[in-house]
Amino acid sequence: MNKKNYQDKPLKIFISYIAGRRKLFAIDMICAVTVSLIDLVFPYVSRQSMTRLLPERLFAAFFTVMGIMIAAYLLRSVLYYVITVVGHRMGVLVESDMREDIFTHMQDLSCSFYDKNRTGVLMSRITSDLFEVTELAHHGPENLLICTLTIVGALGMMAFVEWRLALVLTVVMPLCLWFTLSQRQRMKEANVEVKRKTAEIYAAIESSISGVRTAKAFANEEQESDKFDAANAVFRGAKTEYYRSMGLYMSGMEFTTGIMQVLVITVGGLLIMQGQMDYVDLVTFSLYVSTFVSPVRRLTQFAEMYMQGTAGFSRFLEIMRTEPAVTDAPDAKEMGDIEGRVDLNDVSFAYDNGVPVLNHVDLHIAPGQCMAVVGASGGGKTTLCQLIPRFYDVCGGSVTVDGMDVRSVTQRSLRKNIGLLQQDVFMFAGTIRDNIRYGRPDASDEEIVQAAIRAEIHQEIMAMPDGYDSYIGERGVMLSGGQKQRISIARVFLKNPKVLILDEATSALDTVTEQHIQAALDKLSQGRTTIVIAHRLSTVRHADRIAVVEGTGIAELGTHEELMEKNGIYARLCRAQALEKEAE
């Protein structure tokens, strides 16, 4: 599919998606044109029958013509079937293309984007919003073509039959057009607001379902219901306002289209009274008015679909026009095999709120060395480590791996060389095998088993009813914390990175489980550059060096013995934790 420029005008982008399905679009449009021609032919045929065939008693010709019209309407019904099936298929494919593009783009967006957007809101962008774009993609071009051809053709035929009556309708049409344009923007704004509130409901549902165990544990089901009811009430208000706008639009259009028949009969009656028109022409004209009004009503009904579709498309473009905060440089190189030297050179960093987290930090880690990063919660330890795989870009200074600035290499090749284990382990809904294989998708079953053995989880997996094919539930809910942690360790064993970041990987576990997992982590750390963020200082005593983060920088740096001898921040933290342990 051709690369799209999402800074173009929305209509151009929308057309580019339809152009990707041009064969189905062409079939849909050909059928639509044929339907319009059949609708336009019938009143003319009726007029010819009443003015020539019946008065001249050409009954055989009359029934032949009527037979042809029956066949034409049978064809029309077949064409509508094709329009419905082929058109909707085209719409679904356009929706699928858009969903693929937005999902791919969201994968490219930086961590900072997800810091500011709720999961439920993003889910609505790639589900309900795009469904309404599908309806627009199908019915939009088709309805506009059928209705335009029918309206223009009907006006032309009406002018041919009686130009004075046609002139009456052309006076009414600008009124109809003015009313449509004046209401369109109001309806669009109301519909965009409905989309926003729908996204908030998605977010409320996602949050409540994800936290259902916490809600039950605190017996707060009623509070969750209240939060949902509040979001639902706001949605109802937005929807009500939208329907008020739509109601005003629909009532105005109904009046405009309904008055056309009255005006035609009124003016036509006057012309008949004056002997300037006969009944046959008035009947023919009335049939064309019906043919004319039908697409006008159809456009009126289409207005709601148009507003919903364009609102959904606007929200789609809002995401597609969001640029990643972290991008590969145009000349970014592939990072091959590395030794694992990591350097933070005069690094400064602040999040979007502008509050400094790190300020002029220097830290140098040799290949194969174990560096522990400790300090008070919220001091910037995790942030410091997230700069290495380039989840965020430094605001000043540089981060280098083997002397290469992480901004000068592709993110993909950089992250292939870095393994990350966090306190909050994420498990994908699926089997144990799938979750371990996530470390290296092309790994064989034997390699998966070997990784599990090294992570000391193999025996427990084999004790499960389905072994490696055991389903672990949403976010691994059917596993214990220790099992999830060791599966994540097996995942990293499979990936086999040169740099390993352990972000409080054992802090949420009990002491016995922690000791069990620590053995697996020790195996995993062998031969790798390891950065350990730790809350329990007893786990980092044997690190090659320990960096103490205080304020916005590194206050102390050295081995456990050196820092204890210094009797500074680290020594105070150790004594405080020792007292806590004694108190227990």
Write the CB contacts of 532 (distance below 8 Å, at least 6 apart in sequence). 370, 371, 372, 373, 502, 539, 540, 543
Q: Provide the mean pLDDT of the chain.
A: 82
C-alpha torsion sign, points 534, 540, 544, 549: positive
Banded pLDDT at 344 (limits 50, 70, 90): very high
Q: Which one-letter DSSP state was computed for residue 476? A: G
Helix (H) or strand (E) holding 365: strand 356-365
Whole-number pLDDT of residue 405? 93
Banded pLDDT at 579 (limits 50, 70, 90): low
Quote the CATH superfamily of domain 342-417+497-583.
P-loop containing nucleotide triphosphate hydrolases (3.40.50.300)
SS (H, E, C) 105-128: HHHHCCHHHHHHCCHHHHHHHHCH
Report the pLDDT averaged over residues 410-416: 90
Report the pLDDT averaged over residues 35-55: 81
Q: What percent of the chain lies above the pLDDT cut of 90?
A: 12
Rounded CA separation 510/505 (Å): 12
Report the pLDDT averaged over residues 535-557: 84
Angle, in degrees to the nearest 10, between helices 279-320 and 128-161: 150
Whole-number pLDDT of residue 354? 75
Rounded CA separation 563/100 (Å): 53
Rounded CA separation 283/161 (Å): 10
Q: Which one-letter DSSP state was computed for residue 500? A: E
Tokens of 421: 């284990």
Q: What is the largest CA-CA distance in the chain?
A: 121
| pTM exceeds 0.85 | no
The residue with tokens 């000068």 is 408
> Looking at 104-118, 273-287, 322-336, which range is the least confident one?
273-287
Rounded CA separation 247/231 (Å): 24
Residues of the chain with CATH 1.20.1560.10: 10-320
- pLDDT at 505 exceeding the cut of 70: no
Top pLDDT among 384 and 125 is at 384
- pLDDT at 162 exceeding the cut of 80: no
Chain segment 419-440, per-residue pLDDT in tens: 888 777 788 888 999 989 988 8
Q: CA-CA distances (angstroms) from residue 100 to 6, 12, 380, 501, 522? A: 15, 19, 36, 32, 41
Q: Are 419 and 433 in contact (CB under 8 A)?
A: no
Whole-number pLDDT of residue 111? 81
Whole-number pLDDT of residue 180? 67
Residues of the chain with CATH 3.40.50.300: 342-417+497-583
Rounded CA separation 88/483 (Å): 47
Please report which residue ranges of 21-58 form alpha helices under DSSP H. 22-48
Whole-number pLDDT of residue 343? 93
Quote the CATH superfamily of domain 10-320.
ABC transporter type 1, transmembrane domain (1.20.1560.10)
Banded pLDDT at 364 (limits 50, 70, 90): very high
Whole-number pLDDT of residue 1? 47
- pLDDT at 488 exceeding the cut of 90: no
What number of other Cβ atoms are within 10 A of residue 525's Cβ?
A: 16
Q: What is the dihedral of CA 227, 231, 234, 235, to 10 degrees?
A: -150
Chain segment 269-315, per-residue pLDDT in tens: 888 888 787 777 777 777 777 777 777 777 766 776 787 788 888 88
Tokens of 471: 């389903």
Top pLDDT among 531 and 244 is at 531
| Residue 543 Rama label (left phi>0; alpha psi -120 to 50; beta) | beta
